[in-house]
Chain A
Amino acid sequence: MASRRGLSGARWHPLEALPWLFALAVPFLFPGYAGLGVQVLIAVLFVLSLDLVLGYAGIVTLGHAAFFGVGAYTVGLLSVRAGWNEPISGLVFAALAAAALGWAVGRLILRFHGLAVLMLTLAAALLLQEAGNSAAAITGGHDGLTGITIAPILGRFENDLFGMHYYAYSLVVVFVAFVVLRRIVHSPFGRSLVGIRENRDRMTALGADVVGRLVRAHTFGAALAGVAGGLYAQYNAFVTLNLLGFERSGTALVMLVLGGTGRLYGAIVGVPLYMLLEDRLAKISPGFWSFGIGLLLIVVVLFFRGGLVASMQALVRRPHGGGHDAGVVEKIRGQREPER
C-alpha cells in the first residue's frame, strides 16, 4: 500500500527529496533571496501546522494565528523581560506555551462542530489579541515588542546580513518538524484523524475518543505553529499583535488551499509559490495582485478542488489516480447533504 501510493504512503518516495534539495540549493542559486527564504520557511512551517489541524483533522479554524503569535511572544518576552536569549531552547518554550494554549482552547471548543467551531476559534484568537493589547505594559500593546535580542545559534552563528545562517537554521527546524509531522499523519493516530474528518459519527460508533484525538491534534498543531512564531520573533527581532490577527490565519488558509489540504506537500508547494508571486506582483500592482488571487481562489474551489498538488498528481497518474485524498474529498462532498 505504502509503496504504490507514493506521496500519500508511509514510505518515502524518491520525489519527496526534490523540494528539500531545491531548498538547499536556493541560497547558492539566488544568494540575494535568503532573507525572503527565511520568511518563506517560517510560513511553510506555520501552514504545515495548519494542515495537520485543518487538512487532516478537519477542524476548520479561523484563529490558528493565535498560536503563531503566542510562540512569537514567548520568544520575545523571554528575551526582553527575562533576558533569556538562547534560540533553540527559545523555540522549545514557544512550542510548550503554544501547546498549552492549544490544549486549553481545544478542550473548550472541540466538543462542538460546524459553524460554532469556526466562530469559537475566531473569537478565541481575537480575545487573545485584545488581552495582549490590554496588557500593554508587558506586551507593548499595538506598538509591538521591541528590543528582542537573540544569542548566536549554537553559540556561534549570528544573524548575518544576508540571512544565510538563519536560512540554514530555519531549514533544519522545518525539516525536523516535517519528519515528525509525516510520521504522525501516517501513524494509526493520523489515520484516525482522517477518519474523524470523513465521518465523525462513524468514528464515534467505532469507539474512538473523537474529542480526545481532535484535542491532541489541535495541541500538536498549536505547538508547531508556536515554533514557527518563535522562529519569526528570532529572525525579525520584533513582534506585534498583528501576528495573532485574522488576516494571518486567513492568508495561511489561502496558501494551504492553493497548495492542497491534507497532503503536507500542499503547504510546501503552495506557500513558496504564493509568497514569490506576491513578492513580484504586489510590487507592480497591489490591486492587480489581490484581484488575481481572489479570482484564483474562486477558480481553485470551483475547478481544482484539492489544490495544486492534487492537480499535479492527477496529471501524473491519470483517471482513477488523483491521490487517495482526492477521492476521499469527493466522498465527503456527496455526504454533505444538509441533514435536517
Chain B
Amino acid sequence: MSAALASIVFDGTAYAMVLFVLSVGLSVTMGLMNVVNLAHGAFAMLGGYVVVAAMSRFGMPFYGALATAVVALAAASALLERLLYARLYRAGELDQVVASIGVIFAASALLVFLFGPTPQTVQLPEHLRGTVEIGGRAVPAYRLFVIAVGFGLFAALRLGIERTRIGAQLRAAVDNRHMAVSVGVNVRRLFTLVFSLGGALSALGGGLAIEVLGMGPGFATQYLVLFLIVVAIGGLGSVRGTFAASLVLGIVDTGGKYLFPAAGGFLIYALTMGLLLWRPQGLMGRAAR
C-alpha cells in the first residue's frame, strides 16, 4: 500500500511539475494583462516542435534544443504580443477567446503542414533514460529531472518576483495598474517582457512534455482545458497558487487513474467544480473585486 502511495505521489508530482511549467506563464500573463489567452498551449506546442526539429533535423543535444526553443518562443511571443495581443487588452473576453482560438487553429495547421499529423518523439540523453536508485527504490530518471526543473523554476520565479526590480514592477502592475503607471512603471514594456517570458516558459514546458504528455499537432487543444483548470484553481497571477494547484491536480489525477481507472477524468473535473464554487478567484487569487 505504501509503495503504491509513494509511486502515486512521485508520478503525480512529476506530472504536476510539467503542468506547473506549462501553466505558470499563462497565469502570470492572465493575471497581469487580463487576457484570456487560450493559445498558451499553442506556444507550448510550438516550443515542443522546435525541440523536436532542433534534435532530429539539426542534431542538437536535448539541453541545447530546450534552450533554443526557449529563446525562439520568447522572441516569437514578444512579436505576437506587439502585433496581436496588445490590441486585445481592452477587448472583451469573447474577442480574446476567439482570437486565441484562431492562433491555435493556425499553429496546428502549420505544424501539420511542416511535420505531418503524427505525434513526435525525441531521443533523450543517456543519463535521463532508465532509472535512478533513491532510498532503495528505483525511480525513472526523467521524472526526477522534471521534478527538479519544476521546483527549481518555482524557486527562481519566487525569488525573481520578490527580489528583482522587474518583479516589484510586476507585482505593482498586477495589484493596481493605474497606480503603477502613475509612479512611472513602463507598463507597456513590462507587458511585452512578461508575455515573452510566458512564451519562454511555455516552450520549456512543451519541451519537457514531449516525453510525459506526448507531442502532436493536437497538443494545444488536448491539454488546453488542463492548463486553464490549473490557472483558474491557482488564482490568476499567483506563482504559488499555480504551483499548489498543479500539485493538487497532478497527484489527484494520477491517484485517480491508478486507483479508479474507470472514472477517467471525472475526479479532476469534479474537484475543479468544487474548488471554483468554493473559491471562484482560485486558491491564492485575490478576493473578488
Contact = CB atoms under 8 A, between A and B. Distances in A.
Contact of A60 (B30, B94, B110): B94
Interface stretch (A114-122, A202-210, A228-236): A114-122
Contacts of A312: none
B177 A336 contact: no
A339 B177 CA distance: 9
A134 B269 CA distance: 13
Contacts of A100: none
By secondary structure, the A interface counts as helix
Of A114, A254, A334, A338, the most chain B CB neighbours within 10 A belong to A338
A293 B98 CA distance: 11
B36 A118 contact: yes
B98 A336 contact: no
B91 A301 contact: yes
Contacts of B289: 339-340
Interface in A77-129: 108-109, 112, 114-116, 118-120, 122-124, 126-127
Interface string B106-121: 1111101100000000
B92 A120 contact: no
A58 to B, nearest CB: 8
A160 to B, nearest CB: 36
Nearest to A120: B276
Contacts of A289: 109
Interface residues of A, number: 51
A89 B130 CA distance: 61
Contacts of A112: 280, 288
B225 A246 contact: yes
A294 B106 contact: yes
Given A120-B277, A123-B269, A293 B105 contact: yes
Category for how many chain B residues contact A: 35 or more
Contacts of B272: 119, 123
A258 to B, nearest CB: 9
Nearest to B106: A294
Contact of B30 (A115, A124, A261): A115
A127 B99 CA distance: 26
A127 B266 CA distance: 6
B99 A301 contact: yes
Given A115-B236, A127-B273, A253 B90 contact: no
Nearest to A303: B87
A130 interface: yes
A288 interface: yes
B265 A130 contact: yes
B175 interface: yes
Interface in B160-200: 174-177
Given A130-B269, A134-B263, A291-B110, A333 B92 contact: yes
Interface in A53-80: 54, 60, 62
Interface in A282-340: 287-291, 293-298, 300-302, 305, 332-334, 336-340
Given A119-B228, A301-B99, A337-B90, A294 B176 contact: no
B104 A294 contact: yes
B104 A336 contact: no
Contact of B36 (A109, A115, A126, A295): A115
Given A294-B103, A295-B106, 5 more contacts: A115-B232, A118-B93, A124-B273, A246-B224, A340-B289
Closest 5 CB pairs of A and B: A294-B105, A297-B102, A294-B106, A291-B109, A116-B280
